[in-house]
């Protein structure tokens, strides 16, 4: 393959809901782009995109696939993304390195929840969007209804560049608005023959063209003035204005295709060349060192890794976009995130599992390399001593589904840890780690489907049988009133004994709390606890009843007890401790004795101080079709949730609620069942609140039973 200059490169993100036809469209683009000679199908399991074992087994995309087409002396890089919301992380990464998105809309279903989520994400990043209405050959295709929905949800910036002449069974003709021509396709699709539009179709195209000309004029002030003076624009001015309007998100073109029949795909590729910006025309990237990269050959050499995969026979494959200069085979670079040195052993342009070696790639291009030593997704490679800093990482969505995991056979524990680490390299939205607090290995992701995908890999690729369990809840324990206690630790078993006696008082910590007048405070230590809240430790000893050298041991005993609270073994927080008296023995007192005395005295005082269990409460936002709100709200209330309000989001409603984490187990599954998969949600930690009395009683009983079983 020849080296394409930056101006001849286009980077496109292909997104859309599940089953909207992204992979099928990719096959047609690859065919017209000369990468393949025969289109595969999902049913035959021979598409270029979905080539991983899990994708062949499940017949849907699980990860993004980097592809390209060579078309009319241009290289069009495009990334085929999964449609299920559980894999949204893939789209975040792809959006980072592309300059526009082709969003596929199912002509039968219109806007779906996944489409809505992707639209909001693309709006947040400022990515230009081209709306591609697909499956117009289906008997239930309804173009006019889809257009109405798009305008209603996404606004009047949605402007048809085309419309279908005969949508439904037998579809083969598309009216092109700008040229006022008819694009007609044979039974195998491919390249269109161009005919004149006539009758009502010609009149409709002329009417729609007026909107396009006006949109083009709005793309540039000079064009607007010219439009007002002359009442129209030249074809060259229209093309320039439309390109600017699309780039600035002042216009969302609507294009018609049937990916399955390979109809309209040629126009889509032409559209990418003529109307989508080249990489050097996009918004510059500013690095952490305040260096501006404009995807030009004159910029400092810089490559950003946006995806890592592990391929059989190859190992780790790193996909990158060049943001400045050029990358050539054998070049030595520096990872600016960790200062590690890397040598580019080879460069490949990729179309799924098909790879073609090239000598170099220039600014704006997308390629892959293998066997980097210590470079991962979201990291930056640059020429040594360039001091350009790092490219900002793409946003990683917050997890919403948590579960604990363990190997069915304990002999596989180490193997499981290695496998989870590899999965996290390829999927940054999957999190795994051992929770010291919960004493569990916890994994989290973007939904139950996401976690089940992880399970499939562990079972089928890594050959590890695993078990999944609900996560323990990270409760907190605290007190509500003041209480005193004392404890004497005395042990004699031959030789030197152990003796320590501690008298202390506890009270709740609140900002600006008052000191009891009965205790003279000689010293205070304040600790901001790693798990939230505070411990205030006051030394109130007078008269030398406890030597100062034993105070750290007492504090250590108290802290140990706070790390495993007296009620349920959860962390304790927001407590003030006064050590005001005690006794020592001239021979038998030591640090261990006072640590145990302090720990047990604290436990007794805690239990007498109106102890309460606190639970984490999360802000939950549910995006749901309006006609399904009732069942969702009832379910949230049954989970002890408090509905805080509702906001319209296009054709959906966003329900805002606060729900205890303990009640969110398998919520993704329940929500999918309630809404036939049309709703989605997000959650974010809010605060800790006291649990109701009945819940506390149940938790205390469960903990007591658990302790009894362990004994």
Q: Where does the pLDDT of residue 107 fall: very low under 50, low under 70, confident under 90, or very high at 90 and above?
A: very high
Task: Print the SS3 string covering 310-373.
Answer: EECCCEEEEEEEEEECEEECCCEEEECCCCCEEECCCEEEEECCEEEEECEEECCCEEEEECCC
Which helix (H) or strand (E) covers residue 608, if one does? Answer: none
Which helix (H) or strand (E) covers residue 441, if one does? Answer: strand 440-445
Question: Mind listing the pLDDT tens digit for each residue in 9-40?
Answer: 999 999 999 889 999 999 999 999 999 999 99
Q: Whole-prediction pTM value?
A: 0.87
DSSP-assigned letters across all residues of 261-295: TTBSHHHHHHHHHHHSPPGGGSPPEE-TTS-EE-S
Confidence at residue 597, expressed as pLDDT on a 0 to 100 scale:
96
CATH, residue 661: 3.30.70.240
Overall number of domains in the chain: 5
**d(C-alpha 604, C-alpha 679), whole Å:** 49
Q: Note whether residue 1 is domain-resident.
A: no
Per-residue tokens: 121: 């994400």
Per-residue tokens: 365: 């291009």
Confidence at residue 709, expressed as pLDDT on a 0 to 100 scale:
58
User: Do 66 and 135 have their domain in common?
Assistant: yes
**d(C-alpha 38, C-alpha 47), whole Å:** 10
**DSSP-derived 3-state class of residue 626:** helix
Contacting residues for 463 by C-beta, under 8 A, at least 6 apart: none
User: Do 414 and 445 have their domain in common?
Assistant: yes
Per-residue tokens: 53: 């074992």
Average pLDDT for 116-141:
94
Cα 130 versus chain centre, distance = 23
No. of H helices and E strands in the chain? 16, 38
Confidence at residue 313, expressed as pLDDT on a 0 to 100 scale:
78
User: Do 418 and 351 have their domain in common?
Assistant: no
User: Do 95 and 216 have their domain in common?
Assistant: yes
Q: Which residues pair with 293 in a beta bridge?
A: 285
**d(C-alpha 610, C-alpha 594), whole Å:** 25
Per-residue tokens: 458: 């562990």
Of 509, 489, 473, which is closest to residue 662 (Cα–Cα)?
Answer: 473
Residues present in the chain in total: 711
Last residue of one domain, picked from the residues 409, 437, 472: 472
Confidence at residue 114, expressed as pLDDT on a 0 to 100 scale:
80
Q: Which residues pair with 184 in a beta bridge?
A: 173, 193
> For residues 433 and 527, is the Cβ–Cβ distance under 8 A?
no
User: Do 492 and 555 have their domain in common?
Assistant: yes
Contacting residues for 125 by C-beta, under 8 A, at least 6 apart: 95, 96
**d(C-alpha 681, C-alpha 128), whole Å:** 25
**d(C-alpha 594, C-alpha 408), whole Å:** 42
Of 75, 38, 525, which is closest to residue 273 (Cα–Cα)?
Answer: 75
User: Do 414 and 439 have their domain in common?
Assistant: yes
Q: Which residues pair with 319 in a beta bridge?
A: 307, 368
**DSSP-derived 3-state class of residue 87:** helix
User: Do 462 and 482 have their domain in common?
Assistant: no
Q: Note whether residue 661 is domain-resident.
A: yes
Question: Mind listing the pLDDT tens digit for each residue in 454-466?
Answer: 999 999 999 999 9
Q: Where does the pLDDT of residue 556 fall: very low under 50, low under 70, confident under 90, or very high at 90 and above?
A: very high
Last residue of one domain, picked from the residues 220, 247, 281: 281
Confidence at residue 251, expressed as pLDDT on a 0 to 100 scale:
94
Of 429, 446, 404, which is closest to residue 683 (Cα–Cα)?
Answer: 446
> For residues 594 and 502, is the Cβ–Cβ distance under 8 A?
yes
**d(C-alpha 428, C-alpha 670), whole Å:** 26
User: Do 92 and 236 have their domain in common?
Assistant: yes
Of 537, 535, 547, which is closest to residue 582 (Cα–Cα)?
Answer: 547
**d(C-alpha 649, C-alpha 656), whole Å:** 12
**d(C-alpha 211, C-alpha 204), whole Å:** 11
User: Do 660 and 534 have their domain in common?
Assistant: no
Confidence at residue 497, expressed as pLDDT on a 0 to 100 scale:
84
Q: Note whether residue 707 is domain-resident.
A: no
Q: Note whether residue 509 is domain-resident.
A: yes
Share of the chain above pLDDT 70, in %: 99
Q: Tell me which residue range forms the domain holding 628.
A: 615-695
Confidence at residue 494, expressed as pLDDT on a 0 to 100 scale:
65
Question: Mind listing the pLDDT tens digit for each residue in 464-510?
Answer: 999 999 999 999 999 999 999 999 999 877 667 899 999 999 999 99
> For residues 305 and 370, is the Cβ–Cβ distance under 8 A?
no
Q: Where does the pLDDT of residue 222 fall: very low under 50, low under 70, confident under 90, or very high at 90 and above?
A: confident
Question: Mind listing the pLDDT tens digit for each residue in 409-459?
Answer: 999 999 999 999 999 999 999 999 999 889 899 999 998 899 999 999 999
Q: Note whether residue 388 is domain-resident.
A: no
CATH, residue 261: 3.40.50.300
User: Do 549 and 526 have their domain in common?
Assistant: yes
- What 8-state DSSP symbol labels residue 199? H
Share of the chain above pLDDT 90, in %: 78
Average pLDDT for 548-566:
94
Residue 19 backbone zone (phi > 0: left; psi -120 to 50: alpha; other: beta):
left
Last residue of one domain, picked from the residues 227, 255, 281: 281
Q: Note whether residue 439 is domain-resident.
A: yes
Per-residue tokens: 333: 């670079």
> For residues 318 and 49, is the Cβ–Cβ distance under 8 A?
no
Question: Mind listing the pLDDT tens digit for each residue in 235-281?
Answer: 889 999 999 999 999 999 999 999 999 999 999 999 999 999 999 99
CATH, residue 493: 3.30.230.10
> For residues 476 and 533, is the Cβ–Cβ distance under 8 A?
yes
User: Do 417 and 509 have their domain in common?
Assistant: no
User: Do 299 and 217 have their domain in common?
Assistant: no
Of 309, 304, 419, which is closest to residue 353 (Cα–Cα)?
Answer: 309
For the four alpha carbons of 110, 116, 121 and 124, in that order, the dihedral sign comes to positive
């Amino acid at each position: 393959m020849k080296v394409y200059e930056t101006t001849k490169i286009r980077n496109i993100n292909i997104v859309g809901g599940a089953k909207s036809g992204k992979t099928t469209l990719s096959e047609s683009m690859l065919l017209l782009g000369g990468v393949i000679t025969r289109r595969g199908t999902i049913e035959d399991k021979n598409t270029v995109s979905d080539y991983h074992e899990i994708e062949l087994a499940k017949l849907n995309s699980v990860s993004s696939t980097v592809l390209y087409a060579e078309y009319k002396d241009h290289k069009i890089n495009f990334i085929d993304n999964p449609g299920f919301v559980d894999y949204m992380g893939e789209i975040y990464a792809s959006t980072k390195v592309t300059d526009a998105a082709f969003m596929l809309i199912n002509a039968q279903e219109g806007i779906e929840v996944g489409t809505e989520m992707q639209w909001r994400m693309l709006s947040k990043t400022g990515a230009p969007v081209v709306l591609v209405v697909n499956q117009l050959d289906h008997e239930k295709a309804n173009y006019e209804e889809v257009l109405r929905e798009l305008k209603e949800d996404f606004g009047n910036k949605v402007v048809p560049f085309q419309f279908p002449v005969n949508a439904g069974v037998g579809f083969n003709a598309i009216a092109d608005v700008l040229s006022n021509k008819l694009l007609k396709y044979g039974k195998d699709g491919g390249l269109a023959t161009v005919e004149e539009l006539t009758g009502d179709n010609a009149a409709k195209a002329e009417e729609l063209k007026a909107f396009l000309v006006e949109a083009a004029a709005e793309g540039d002030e000079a064009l607007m003035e010219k439009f007002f003076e002359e009442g129209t624009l030249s074809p060259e001015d229209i093309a320039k204005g439309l390109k600017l309007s699309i780039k600035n998100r002042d216009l969302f073109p609507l294009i018609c295709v049937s990916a399955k029949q390979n109809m309209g795909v040629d126009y889509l590729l032409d559209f990418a060349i003529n109307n989508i910006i080249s990489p050097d025309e996009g918004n510059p990237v500013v690095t952490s060192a305040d260096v501006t990269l404009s995807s030009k050959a004159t910029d400092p050499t810089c490559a950003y890794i946006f995806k890592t995969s592990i391929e059989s026979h190859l190992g780790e494959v790193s996909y990158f976009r060049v943001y400045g200069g050029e990358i050539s085979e054998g070049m030595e670079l520096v990872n600016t995130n960790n200062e590690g040195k890397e040598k580019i052993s080879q460069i490949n342009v990729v179309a799924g599992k098909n790879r073609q070696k090239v000598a170099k790639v220039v600014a704006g291009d997308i390629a892959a390399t293998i066997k980097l030593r210590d470079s991962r997704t979201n990291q930056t490679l640059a020429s040594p001593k360039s001091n350009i800093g790092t490219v900002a990482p793409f946003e990683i969505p917050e997890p919403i589904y948590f579960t604990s995991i363990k190997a069915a056979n304990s002999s596989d524990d180490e193997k499981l840890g290695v496998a989870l680490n590899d999965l996290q390299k390829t999927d940054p939205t999957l999190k795994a780690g051992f929770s010291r607090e919960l004493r569990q290995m916890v994994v989290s992701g973007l939904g139950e489907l996401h976690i089940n995908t992880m399970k499939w890999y562990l079972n089928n690729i890594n050959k590890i049988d695993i078990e999944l369990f609900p996560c323990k809840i990270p409760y907190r324990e605290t007190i509500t009133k003041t209480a005193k206690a004392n404890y004497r630790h005395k042990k004699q078993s031959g030789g030197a004994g152990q003796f320590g006696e501690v008298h202390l008082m506890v009270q709740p910590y609140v900002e600006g709390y008052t000191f009891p007048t009965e205790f003279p405070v000689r010293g205070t230590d304040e600790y901001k606890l790693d798990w939230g809240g505070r411990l205030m430790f006051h030394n109130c000893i007078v008269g030398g009843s406890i030597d100062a050298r034993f105070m750290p041991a007492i504090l250590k005993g108290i802290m140990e007890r706070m790390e495993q609270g007296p009620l349920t073994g959860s962390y304790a927080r927001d407590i003030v401790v006064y050590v005001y008296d005690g006794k020592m023995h001239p021979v038998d007192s030591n640090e261990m004795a006072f640590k145990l005395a302090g720990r047990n005295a604290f436990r007794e005082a805690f239990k007498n101080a109106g102890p309460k269990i606190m639970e984490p409460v999360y802000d939950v936002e549910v995006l749901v079709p309006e006609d399904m709100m009732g069942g969702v709200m009832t379910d949230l209330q049954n989970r002890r949730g408090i509905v805080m309000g509702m906001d319209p989001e296009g054709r959906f409603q966003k329900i805002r609620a606060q729900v205890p984490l303990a009640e969110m187990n398998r919520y993704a599954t329940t929500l999918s069942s309630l809404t036939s998969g049309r709703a989605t949600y997000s959650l974010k930690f809010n605060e800790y609140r006291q649990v109701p009395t009945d819940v506390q009683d149940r938790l205390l009983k469960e903990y007591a039973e658990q302790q009894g079983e362990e004994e």
